[in-house]
Amino acid sequence: MKIAILRALLVAVVSPAVWAAPDTPVVDVYKSPTCGCCSKWVDHLKANGFTVRSHNTNDVVAHKSRLGVPFGYGSCHTAQVGSYLVEGHVPAKEIKRLLKEKSSARGLAVPGMVAGSPGMETDERKDAYDVFLVNKDGSTKTYAHYL
Ligand SMILES: [Cu+2]
């Protein structure tokens, strides 16, 4: 009995998830099981130090409305990090910035599927896009611009 408790404590202490928590926040990603670019975005987050829990669902829209994606700002996948919404192919760098700033906003969004955004890399095309800050009231403003 005592040994079991000690072992449980030891596991809790040495568990990587416990140590990883402050530097690498967990991102919950909701995507359809067949979405290739969503999986590539997940890889982009992991490569940038995030711990990702990927959830396959056929009802991504339910998560969009739960997390408050404004009308017209939707993309292929929806994610949550801490209390923040992250919609679409948002660069990891901007998510880190949002977390560092402890922003009072609802989250970030890159609407649509922009060629050249993280997870949407192609050889032929690279389009300019904005990362939008979504405020608590649902209004948005440009948070970063990518060329
Ligand atoms: Cu996509």
- The string of pLDDT tens digits covering residues 97-114 is 999 999 999 999 999 999
Q: What are the residues whose beta carbon lies below 5 Å from ligand 1 (ion)?
A: 37, 76, 113
At 25 the pLDDT is 85
Strand partners, 109: 87, 132
Domain ranges within the chain, ordered by starting residue: 22-146
14, two tokens: 């040495």
Q: Which residues, in sequence order, are CB contacts of 136 under 8 Å at separation 6+?
A: 104, 105, 106
Say yes or no to pLDDT of 142 above 50.
Answer: yes
User: 17 C-alpha to center of ligand 1: Å?
Assistant: 28
User: 32 C-alpha to center of ligand 1: Å?
Assistant: 10
C-alpha to C-alpha distance for 7 and 23, rounded to whole angstroms = 26
Domain range 22-146, CATH architecture: 3-Layer(aba) Sandwich (3.40)
Q: Percent of the chain having pLDDT more than 90?
A: 80
User: 111 C-alpha to center of ligand 1: Å?
Assistant: 10
User: 138 C-alpha to center of ligand 1: Å?
Assistant: 22
At 116 the pLDDT is 96
At 21 the pLDDT is 47
User: 67 C-alpha to center of ligand 1: Å?
Assistant: 18
CA 77 vs CA 2, 65, 100, 125: distances in Å: 46, 12, 23, 21
User: 56 C-alpha to center of ligand 1: Å?
Assistant: 14
